[in-house]
Amino acid sequence: MRLHFTLLVCLAAALSSAVVTSPINLWTKLILTQQWPKTFCSSEPCQLNVSYWTLHGLWPDKGEFCNSSWHFNSTEIEDLIPDLKKVWPDLLNPSSFHFWKYEWSKHGTCAAEAASLNSQHKYFSKALEFYQKVDLNSMLQKANIIPSDKYYTFSDIEQAMENFYGVKPKIQCLHPSMNSEFQTLGQIEICFDADFALQDCEKHFATNTLSRGQWDQNKSSGLSVCSPDIPVYYPPTS
């Protein structure tokens, strides 16, 4: 009887431990976030002139800074660095790894809770894969939505993207001052489910800041979902 009781106690302890360590809040969505450099650089001292959409990050919908002991190591992604420098550049300091280090610490360590992304190489590779898959630059060009001094309606951009991808993106703008007649296109999020299939983005997902210089202070930059009623300015790079 005593042996039976002891076994029950051990089993209960094991089950309790399993519950504590299981990933109860594992993410269910990945947000591929791309930024328009001209808009970003309108308020930042950029050191790189880029005329195409660049990666801002690949963000799981749950968690931030999930493993402070899992430090960024550039040697693990050495083969990816040429592509990362092109499509995921640090516009403020092109020779630095700080941007990737920050994104890995804040978002990558949380994405890595899934076995499919459980290394730095898998995480950054998947971001590059998604970037090529959605090919936002070509998609907008094909829809005749190009950087120019003309204004677009929000529905022009949203509908073109929905028609092409079959899902609803999240389109963010830098909002105007009191008397401005337009909002400026700044950032676009395209979402994937846990199996890496495209899915609708929720417009109420928390807005990330535009300025990486403001990240640590956790201040808002003014980027949020574009208003459907205000003309959208897609600024040319020159």
Identify the burial level of 40 via C-beta atoms within 10 angstroms of its C-beta, where 0-12 means exposed, 13-18 middle and 19 or more buried: buried
Active site residue 103: yes
Single out the catalytic residue among 103, 121, 189, 202: 103
Single out the catalytic residue among 107, 113, 181, 189: 107
Single out the catalytic residue among 4, 44, 56, 78: 56
Do the Cβ atoms of 39 and 235 come closer than 8 Å? yes
Within 10 Å of residue 130's Cβ, how many Cβ atoms? 19
Q: Would you give the distance in Å from CA 122 to the centre of its chain?
A: 16
Cα separation, 172 vs 25, whole angstroms: 27
Active site residue 71: no
- 172: enclosing H helix or E strand: strand 170-174
Identify the burial level of 133 via C-beta atoms within 10 angstroms of its C-beta, where 0-12 means exposed, 13-18 middle and 19 or more buried: middle
Q: Note the residue count of the chain.
A: 238
Q: Which residues are tagged catalytic?
A: 56, 103, 107
